[in-house]
Amino acid sequence: MKKINTDVLIIGAGPVGLFTVFELGQLGMKSCVVDSLENIGGQCTALYPDKPIYDIPAYPSVTAGELINNLKKQIDPFKPILLMNQKVNELKKHKDFYSVKTSTNNIIESKCIIIAAGNGAFGPNKPPLKNIDSFENKTIFYHIRDKSKFRKKTVAIAGGGDSAVDWAIELSKTSKKIFFIHRRNKLRAIPQNVEVLYDLENEGKIEMMIPYQLDSIEGKNGIIDHLIIKNMDEEKKKLEVDYFLPFFGLSTNLGPIKDWELELEKNILKVKQETCETNLNGIFAIGDVCSYPGKLKLILTGFSEAAIASHNCFNKINPEKTLHFEYSTTKGINKL
C-alpha cells in the first residue's frame, strides 16, 4: 500500500488522460494517473494499436500505438506517478482535498480530480465457453501485444467488427492459416477491409467460417487442441488451432465512480462546458466519459477538454495566484 500526495488525480490512462498530464505539468502541477488496465493507452493499446487514426492534427495518419508512444514521450519530463492494473474505489471529501482508495489499497490525496475514463473501467466480452479461463493468456488472448507469437501458427479469430477483421488481415501476412468465425454473413467492419478479407480468402490465406458460432474448447494445461464450432443447424466442426483470438468488444462500467454522487445522464457524467467541472467542486470529467450540449466524442475534443480542465484546476489549487497565460512557443517545457 502506498500513500500518495499530488495536485491532481487523473482517472484513466488513455490518450486524453495522458495529455492531461502534459497540460497540468505545463502549469506547474503534479499528477498521479490510475487505470484498470496493465498498460497505458486505454482502448488505443488494448484494442487497435496498429490501426491508423486520421483526425489527429499534424498527422495525416498515425497508428494508435504510435500516438500513445508519442504522448508518453511528451509527458515523461513531468514524471507522473502511474498506477496501473487497479481501479478507483472509495472517495472521501476533506476540507481542502479529496482522498481516493484504489482496489490495491493505494491511497491518493489530491486537491482536484480529473476523470478521463472513457466509458469507464473495461474488460473484454468473453465468449460463454466452459473452462475458457484456463486457456487465457496461454493460447487464448483478447488483445495482442506481440504479433510475432502467431508467426507460422494456425489462428482462429472470432468476431464481426473492426478489431477482428483488422487482425485477421494483419496476421494473415505471417501466420500459417487463419480461421475467421462469425455467426452472421454481415460484418460490421469498414467495407474496404471486408473486401480485403474476402480477397485473402480467395488467395487461400483465410478460411471464412460463416455463419458459425462457438461451441466448446478441447485441450488441457492451457493448450488448445481443437476449437469446436457449430452452424445454425447445430452441425459441428473441429478446428485444429494453435491460438484463439475472440474479439467481441469491451464491457464498460463506471464502477464505484457511479456512487460518488456525480450527476449522470445515460451513464455519462454531466459537466459545465466552459470548465469541464462536474456537479462536485474540484472534480472534472473529460473525454468520452463526459457530456454537454454539442459534445463530439473525438480524441481531439478530449485534448481540448484536458487543457480547459487543467487551467481550471490551477485556479482552484492556487486561488491566490493569477495565471499568466503563455504559449508553449514562448515558455517551452515547464520544469517541475
Q: pLDDT for 130-185, tens place per residue?
A: 999 999 999 999 888 788 999 999 999 999 998 899 999 999 999 999 999 999 99
CA distance linking residue 177 with residue 173, whole number of Å: 10
The predicted pLDDT at position 257 comes to 83
Ramachandran sector of residue 249 (left: φ over 0; alpha: ψ -120 to 50; beta: rest):
left
Q: Give 43's pLDDT tier (boundaries 50, 70, 90).
A: confident
> Would you place residue 214 in the very low, low, confident or very high pLDDT band (cuts 50, 70, 90)?
very high
Side chain identity at residue 162, one-letter code: D
Q: Does the pLDDT value for residue 121 go beyond 60?
A: no
Query: Which pLDDT score is estimated for 119?
Result: 64
Helices (H), the chain: 15-26, 43-46, 64-75, 162-171, 191-202, 299-317, 328-331
Domains of the chain, start order: 3-122+251-331 (3.50.50.60), 126-248 (3.50.50.60)
Whole-model pTM?
0.72
Sign of CA dihedral 110, 115, 117, 122: positive
**Would you say residue 50 has pLDDT above 80?**
no
pLDDT at 249: 77
Average pLDDT rounded to a whole number, residues 294-312: 95
Q: Please state, in angstroms and rounded to a whole number, the distance separating the CA atoms of residues 264 and 16.
A: 20
42-56, 156-170, 193-207, 271-285, range with the lowest pLDDT: 42-56
Question: Residue 108 in contact with residue 293, Cβ under 8 Å?
Answer: no
8 Å CB contact between 184 and 211: yes
Most distant CA pair in the chain, distance: 73
Average model confidence (pLDDT) for the chain?
Answer: 92
Question: Average pLDDT of 33-38?
Answer: 91
Which segment of 52-66, 79-93, 117-131 scores lowest on mean pLDDT? 117-131
285 vs 72, 115, 189, 306, CA distance in Å?
A: 21, 5, 30, 9
pLDDT category at 37 given cuts 50, 70, 90 is confident
Average pLDDT over residues 79-96: 94
| H-state helical runs in 156-280 | 162-171, 191-202
Please give the single-letter amino acid code of residue 200: L
